[in-house]
Structure formats: structure tokens, C-alpha cells
């Protein structure tokens, strides 16, 4: 997932098809009206080939893809997952806690690690 929230139709376009299948008639004004298909694309091991994308997706399809990417980014970065992530101990610290949580004579734990994780999961429930 991207570190920044998708905010432009170009973010959606690069996810809709592979390779550089589109271009702009004005690279300083990247709006839907300036979107064009490239004639050729570079294909690894094949050089330039005809662009397999033959139609520009509709503006509504591009906007829908952008919204889908934004919603996924929001869920990952502002929802319960992000809240949990900020409170969980590092994986190294969790493994250390599990090690110390186990009794020496058998693979049984005191449950402290589980209680710590469950507290955070309960605090930031999925929905």
C-alpha cells in the first residue's frame, strides 16, 4: 500500500492496467480530457509491442477506481488496523514476551501475551 493517500486519477490509471498504457496530451495538466492511449508499450524481452489496451476507461470507471484505492488506504491508515498497529509492541518485543511467558517445563504460557494483544484488539474492534 502506498505511503500517501491516492489523490489523482493517475494513481488509479496505473493500477487499472500494466505497463505504460496511457499518456497525456499535456503533461502539466493531467486531467481526464487530456488522457490518451499510447500506441506502443515496452514489454520485457519483447521490446516495443502494440498496446493491448484498446479503449480508455470511462471517466466514471477511473473515478470509481480512485475511490476504491482511497477507501482501502483510509481503512489501512486511519481505521482500526492503524490504531492497533500504533499500540502493538514490536514483533521482537512480542516474541521476547512470549518466551518469558512460557514455563520452562512445558510449552504452556501464562497468557500475558494473549491478554495484552486481546486488550488492543478489543479496544479497536473491526467494525
Summarize pLDDT for 33-65 with one digit per residue, the tens: 999 999 999 988 889 999 999 999 999 999 999
Mean of the pLDDT values across residues 96-110? 73
- Measure the CA–CA gap between 37 and 26, rounded to whole angstroms: 13
The percent of residues in the chain predicted with pLDDT above 70, rounded, is 92
What is the per-residue pLDDT for 107?
Answer: 62
In eight-state DSSP terms, residue 89 is: P
The CA-based angle 79-84-89, given to 5 degrees, is 155
Q: What is the pTM of this model?
A: 0.66
**pLDDT value at residue 127:** 67
Amino acid at each position: 500500500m502506498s505511503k500517501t493517500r491516492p489523490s489523482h486519477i493517475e494513481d488509479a490509471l496505473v493500477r487499472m492496467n500494466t505497463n505504460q498504457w496511457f499518456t497525456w496530451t499535456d503533461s502539466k495538466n493531467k486531467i481526464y480530457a487530456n488522457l490518451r492511449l499510447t500506441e506502443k508499450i515496452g514489454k520485457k524481452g519483447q521490446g516495443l509491442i502494440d498496446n493491448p489496451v484498446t479503449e480508455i476507461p470511462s471517466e466514471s470507471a477511473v473515478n470509481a477506481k480512485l475511490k476504491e484505492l482511497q477507501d482501502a488506504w483510509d481503512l489501512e491508515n486511519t481505521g482500526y488496523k492503524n490504531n492497533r498497529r500504533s499500540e502493538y509492541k514490536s514483533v521482537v518485543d512480542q516474541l521476547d514476551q512470549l518466551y518469558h511467558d512460557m514455563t520452562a517445563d512445558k510449552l504452556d504460557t501464562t497468557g500475558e501475551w494473549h491478554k495484552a494483544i486481546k486488550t488492543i484488539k478489543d479496544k479497536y474492534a473491526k467494525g
